[in-house]
Amino acid sequence: MGNAQFYPPPDTKKDGTTLIELHINKLGDAHDVIGQFIGSDEQNDVYTPVTLRPSSSRDTCCLCPCCFVSIPAGFSAIVEKFGAQIDGDEPDGTWSPGFHWLGPWHRVGRLVSKQLIVFDTPVRDMRTKDRILVNIDVVIVFEIIRAKDFVYNISPEKFDDLLRFTQEEAIRQMASETEVANVYDLHGAHTSHIVEDLCEKFERYGVKVHHFTVKGVRLPNEMADQFEDKTLYDPRTIMEDMKQKSERLIMGNREEKTRLDDECKNTVRAAEEQAEITKSKGVKETSAVIAETAKELSELESAKELDVRQVKVEGELENQKIMSEIAMAEREVKAKTSADCAKIRAEAEAYTKQKVTSGTIEVERSKAVGKKALGEAEGVASASFAAKREFEAEKERLKILEEMVTNQNVQIATTQENTVNLNQENALVSQVTQQGLEALRARLAEATATSLQKLSIPEAKPSQQEMM
Q: Are 97 and 71 in contact (CB under 8 A)?
A: yes
Q: Does the pLDDT of residue 146 top 80, yes or no?
A: yes
* Res 74: pLDDT: 85
**What is the C-alpha separation between 5 and 24, in angstroms, rounded?**
6
* Res 203: pLDDT: 92
For residue range 382-395, list pLDDT tens digits in order.
Answer: 766 777 777 777 77
Q: Does the pLDDT of residue 51 top 70, yes or no?
A: yes
* Res 233: pLDDT: 42
DSSP alpha helices (H): ranges in 187-234?
A: 192-202, 221-230
**What is the C-alpha separation between 184 and 204, in angstroms, rounded?**
34
Banded pLDDT at 104 (limits 50, 70, 90)? confident
Mean pLDDT across 57-66: 55
* Res 2: pLDDT: 44
* Res 232: pLDDT: 41
Q: Tell how far CA 33 is from the center of its chain.
A: 49
Return the minimum-mean-pLDDT range out of 44-53, 247-256, 270-279, 291-300: 247-256
Q: Does the pLDDT of residue 11 top 50, yes or no?
A: yes
Banded pLDDT at 73 (limits 50, 70, 90)? confident
For residue range 378-424, list pLDDT tens digits in order.
Answer: 766 676 677 777 777 777 777 777 776 666 665 555 444 444 444 44
Q: Are 373 and 380 in contact (CB under 8 A)?
A: no
Mean pLDDT across 160-166: 91
Q: Does the pLDDT of residue 57 top 80, yes or no?
A: no
**What average pLDDT does the chain have?**
75
pLDDT > 90 fraction of the chain, expressed in percent and rounded: 8
**Which one, of 257, 254, 253, lies nearest residue 265 by Cα?**
257
Q: Does the pLDDT of residue 298 top 50, yes or no?
A: yes
- C-alpha gyration radius of the chain: 72
Per-residue CA distances from 425 to 119, 198, 340, 409, 436 (Å) = 186, 181, 103, 14, 17
For residue range 249-265, list pLDDT tens digits in order.
Answer: 776 677 677 777 777 77
Q: Does the pLDDT of residue 240 top 60, yes or no?
A: no
Q: Report the half-sphere exposure of 64 (CA within 13 A, side-chain side).
A: 10
* Domain 6-234 of CATH type 3.30.479.30: yes
Query: Reduced to 3 states, what is the DSSP secondary structure of residue 179?
Result: coil
**What is the C-alpha separation between 109 and 56, in angstroms, rounded?**
9
Predicted structure pTM score: 0.47
Residue 212: beta bridge partners?
140
Mean pLDDT across 47-76: 74
Sign of the torsion angle spanned by Cα atoms 277, 280, 286, 292:
negative
* Res 178: pLDDT: 80
Domain ranges across the chain? 6-234
Mean pLDDT across 171-179: 83
Mean pLDDT across 428-449: 66
For residue range 205-238, list pLDDT tens digits in order.
Answer: 999 999 888 877 777 665 655 555 444 445 555 6
Q: Does the pLDDT of residue 167 top 60, yes or no?
A: yes
Q: What is the phi-psi region of residue 63: left when phi exceeds 0, alpha when psi lies from -120 to 50, beta otherwise?
A: left
* Res 464: pLDDT: 47
pLDDT > 70 fraction of the chain, expressed in percent and rounded: 70
Banded pLDDT at 142 (limits 50, 70, 90)? very high
Residues in CB range of 279: below 8 A, 6 or more apart: 61, 66, 68
Instruction: Tabulate helix, strand, coil % of the chain (nearest 5).
Output: 60, 20, 20
By residue count, the chain amounts to 468
